[in-house]
Every structure is written in structure tokens, then in C-alpha cells.
Structure 1
Amino acid sequence: MNKLKTLYIALFIAPLLISACSNEDEFIRVEDQYNLNPQTEMAKKLVNGTNLFVHIKKDTSYTVQEGLTATEISYVSHTGLAKKVFTFEVDLTKPNLSIEVSTPNNSPQFGMQQMTKQATFEDAEGHKVWAGVNADFFNTSNGTPQGIVYKEGLAIKTSVTDAVNTFFAILKNGKAFVGDQEDYETVKSSIQEAVGGRVTLVSNGILVTQTSPTLEPRTAIGVSQDGTKVYILVVDGRRFHYSNGMSYEELGQCLKAMGSYDAINLDGGGSSTFFIRNQPDFAANRFEIRNWPTDNGGMERAVGNGILIIKK
């Protein structure tokens, strides 16, 4: 009898432990009933503005701060693959809401550090970090980013790796800007904050033709035509029943549907990180990663720099 009781307890507890240690409840299963009925405003934009969605398993939206809305969507794509995306919509017209660049230890020196750690060096009363994502591709030996870096109006790095490098910037007038190297020459004297990126996804409201069909975890960013709205998307990947990543073409479709007039791809793969602040105080665990980084089964990767959303 004791053996049977022990077996029953083991069978009952084991699934709970597995569930607690993973995002298994987000898995797409064959028995799921297909339903394309988006609930959140962001999901509606994506469904109506792309041809990528055939089934939404779950979509939720929440206000992190006034002017900062996060949305999480689990869905089946038009190719029959499970996907999980995370988005931020940032309204820069809201009082005291801003976007800043983070670096390891808040230093002008290059290196590598987890995004939730980078956030702690920027986080203070009157300057609270409420959300963030990873940013530019970087040298994995020393953390040197591929593209430009500006912090608080200071040009830390102005060189780029090659002709593909692009950038996201906050200008001194408070508006957001996405551009290529030709655009950089035009606006460089007006840059307050900036990080580099790579592939252009949307340019002047038009999707840029892509040639690579590869699906990967991605981080991408776009801006509205007037520069007052910023759209950020992270998609998880490399886990079949949970999420399989996106191609550049899919990423571009999503950023355009979200409202981007210009958009670029940032560093992805194991670097893709999407986090929020889950409490107003300064507890050690105040920053919560919402996505599933691919390194070591969900461990946050140390990256070269990032983008932080701050309430002053």
C-alpha cells in the first residue's frame, strides 16, 4: 500500500515540477482547436496586417507604464509551426517616458553583461527602468558592438563593420529614428542615444525584399513615420512545440503591421531577451525575463548592449 501511495504521489507531483520549470503550457499540440480570434489590439493588428496567422492559442496584453504596452502571443503560423512573440509599443509623447541605450556597468567601455544586470546600473529613483531588450550584434570575445553606440549624446563608437549595418536612435528632439549609413551622415549631429542593427526590414513604409528563409529567434525594432512611436518585437525559437523563430520576411511583415514606417533587425539567437520590471521597488528580482532565451535551456545571455525603456 505504501509503495502504491508513493507511486501515486510521484506521478502527481512530477508533471507539476516539469510545468513549473518550463513553458510547456505554451506548447502547441495537435489536439488544439484552431481559432483565429485575436483578443488584444496588437494581435488584431498582426492578424489583419499579415498572412502569417492561422490559429491563436493565447494572446495577452498589459500596461507596464503609461505609454508602454506589452503583448504576448502564442500562435500557429501559416506554415503550421508554433510561434511565440513578445511586443512593446512605446509612446514617446507620454510625459517622462524615454528610451536609452544600456552598456555593461553603464560604462563607455565595451564588454558583455546580461540585460537584467545592465538595467540595474541605470535603475534609480527618478530614473526607473521598466522594460528592455537586447540590441546590437557584438564580438563574442570582447563585446565590441558591430554598429554605432551613443549614450547621453556622447558618441562612444561611430564605426561600423560593413555596408549592412543600420541603426536605431533617439534624437535630441526626443523622437525615434531608424536608418542606414547614408541616413547616419544626415542625423549624426542630432543623436542622443543610438545602437546598431543589421538587416533593414521596412523602409519608408515598404517591406524590403528578403532572400534568407532561415527561421531564428529574433529581436527587431521599428518606428512610426513621425518618430513618436517605437515598436519592438522578440520572437522565440529553436523549440519545436513552443516556438520556431521567424524569417526576415515574416519579421518585416510583423513590424509593418504593428505600425512601423522603418524597421531593422537587431541581434537574435541566444541574445534575444525581453524583460519587464515586475514591481516598483528595488528588490533584487525586480526584472523578469518574459521570453525563453535559447542558451542553456532559458539562461539569459551576456550581451554587448541593449535598449531600455525608462520612466523619469
Structure 2
Amino acid sequence: MKSAFFILLLLISQTTFAQNTDSITLVKAKWQKQKIAPKTKLITHHFNQKNLFAANQYISYIEIKRKGNAPVFAFGNEIKEKKTTSTFGKELHAFAAINGTFFDVANGGSVDFIKMDGVIIKQNVLDKNGNRARHQKAAIVIDQGKLSLKKWDNSPNWENSLTEKDVMLSGPLLTFNLQNEQLDTTSFTKARHPRTAVGIKPGGNIILLTVDGRQENAAGMSLYELTSLMRWLGCTSSINLDGGGSTTLWVSSYAENGVVNFPSDNKKWDHEGERKVANVILLKKKQ
């Protein structure tokens, strides 16, 4: 019995040590920073020595300060047609965009609730037992161009009662008001994949983030690892969006095609592998 207890203590101490090492690695990294708009920076780094979560990782994110002439947020959505994140951004006159929530890959259209300009475009697609998915238990809401996160209150029609004109359900929530959310133990949670996330910092700064994966140069992250990453970047609330081949961060002024990260849908380490998606989160300059 004593030996089992000591083994448990050893495992806990090893995990804690690894997390501390990873957090220090993240903080001390020489991140590339570029101003792309007022109050807005693009920040990237390639951990290429297998030195973050014992793996190669490529992380890209935009940080937006919530003050003054900061840009405004908006959604882009198509009911049936699918478009690349960069196409959404260009057509809707944004200067930056990330892919949004989960969608029907075969037929197009979101599988989660979306409301734009006060009009409900899509209700949740529930399972055969009428239960909502984990990614239908939180919402990204936009009110007069300002973005925030909401948590499901367990009522059946919660999303329909939200007063904001622009609502997009996604998830799972990773952290909410400083508290880590309980994650399930499915392979979706535990396995490493490309990930897309939104985070909110204490002063109101917003982070739009992608983590690349399914590549030798970038392993991707589990949702546990993504939770830690968002906490280490200073987020007190954060949410997971659609990931995998959909994961894309686009900035109009960036390089050739504007794609900052290395989308995995073409299985190549380049900026050409965007998957067509049904919806996005946009950044537009304040008028």
C-alpha cells in the first residue's frame, strides 16, 4: 500500500515538474511580434526542439487590446457553401480571421447554433437522444463589435434567450472565470490535433489562437495541453473551436496568401492546406 502511495506521489511530482518546465519554456521563448492593426499584434513561435509538451509545436495568435480604436469582431457564415477562412476574410472585408465552430463536412452548414444580426440562422443539431454535444455548451457572443464568452446554464433553450445579436456556439469551454472546466476523456480530448481557440485575459484583451499539428514540425495538442497553454498566456476564460484540418489563422497583410499557420489538410508543411469551412470569426478595423 505504501509503495503504491509513493508511486502516485512520484507521478504527481513528475507531472508538476513537466508543467512548470513547459510554462517556463513558453514564457522565455523569443516570440515573433508584428503590429497588424491599431491595438492588435500577431505573435508566433516555432518550438522546434521538442521542447513544449515534449514535442515540436507551432503556435500563432493575435492579441487584441480592448480599448480605444481597437478593431471590432464579427462572424462570417454560409448555410450550404463552404469557403476557406482566407476567402471569408477577403470577401467580408476583414483584416484577420480564424476558422469558427463545427460544421457538416459533407453538406456544409454549422451543426451548432448561430445567430447573426439578431436572426437565428441555425439551431443545434442534437444527437439521436436529443442531447447536445460538448461543443454546444458554450457560446462566443459579440455585442457592438466586442467579444465575450458565455457558459450554458443547463436550460434547453439557453442559446435562444441570449440577448446579443451575434452568437456562435462552440466548445468545449477550457477555462471560465479562472476555473478550469471538466473535460471528458474521449480521444478527441486526449489525442493531439491541430487546435483553434479564443481566450480572454483579465483586462479584456482577446486572443485568437491556432496550434498546428499532424506534422513532424508540429505535433498538435490535447485539450488538456491547450487548456494549460491558454492559462500560461494569461487567459482567465478560453474556449476550443473546430480544429483539425479546419485550423487556420489568416491575416491580410501577412506574406503571400495571408495564411499565418500551417494548415494540415494537404498534409504538407506549407501555408496552402486550408480546409473549406462553414463559418469564421473576423476582425475588422473600427469605422
Query: TM-score if structure 1 supplies the norm length?
Result: 0.71
With over 3 angstroms needed to count, the CA separation of the structure-2 counterparts of 1:51 and 1:293, relative to structure 1, is: same
Instruction: Please state if 1:171 is matched with 2:143.
Output: yes
Instruction: Please state if 1:182 is matched with 2:125.
Output: no
Contact 1:207–1:253 (Cα < 8 Å) also in 2: no
CA–CA distance in structure 1, aligned partners of residues 274 and 251 of structure 2? 14
**Aligned AA for 1:178?**
L
Structure possessing the higher radius of gyration over alpha carbons: 1
Matches for 1:71-150 after TM superposition, within 5 Å: 71-75=43-47, 76-95=50-69, 97-104=71-78, 109-123=79-93, 129-150=94-115
Contact 2:39–2:70 (Cα < 8 Å) also in 1: no
With over 3 angstroms needed to count, the CA separation of the structure-2 counterparts of 1:49 and 1:79, relative to structure 1, is: closer
SS of residue matched to 2:228? helix
Structure 1 gap ranges (5+): 1-46, 124-128, 280-284
Give the C-alpha shift of residue 258 in structure 1. Answer: 2.3
CA–CA distance in structure 1, aligned partners of residues 256 and 113 of structure 2? 30
Give the C-alpha shift of residue 206 in structure 1. Answer: 1.7
CA–CA distance in structure 2, aligned partners of residues 247 and 142 of structure 1? 27
Q: Name 1:157's counterpart in structure 2.
A: 122
SS of residue matched to 1:196? strand
CA–CA distance in structure 2, aligned partners of residues 299 and 56 of structure 1? 30
CA–CA distance in structure 1, aligned partners of residues 167 and 190 of structure 2? 29
Give the C-alpha shift of residue 91 in structure 1. Answer: 2.1
CA–CA distance in structure 1, aligned partners of residues 133 and 54 of structure 2? 35
Contact 2:38–2:70 (Cα < 8 Å) also in 1: no
CA–CA distance in structure 1, aligned partners of residues 200 and 180 of structure 2? 14
Contact 1:49–1:253 (Cα < 8 Å) also in 2: no
With over 3 angstroms needed to count, the CA separation of the structure-2 counterparts of 1:188 and 1:230, relative to structure 1, is: farther
Q: Name 1:61's counterpart in structure 2.
A: 33
Matches for 1:157-236 after TM superposition, within 5 Å: 157-161=122-126, 162-164=132-134, 165=136, 166-172=138-144, 174-182=145-153, 185=158, 188-210=161-183, 211=185, 212-225=189-202, 228-236=204-212
CA–CA distance in structure 2, aligned partners of residues 96 and 234 of structure 1? 21
Q: Name 2:14's counterpart in structure 1.
A: none
**Aligned AA for 1:182?**
D
**Aligned AA for 1:133?**
I
Q: Name 1:51's counterpart in structure 2.
A: 23
**Aligned AA for 2:166?**
E
Q: Name 2:252's counterpart in structure 1.
A: 277
RMSD: 2.8
With over 3 angstroms needed to count, the CA separation of the structure-2 counterparts of 1:55 and 1:152, relative to structure 1, is: closer
Contact 1:81–1:243 (Cα < 8 Å) also in 2: yes
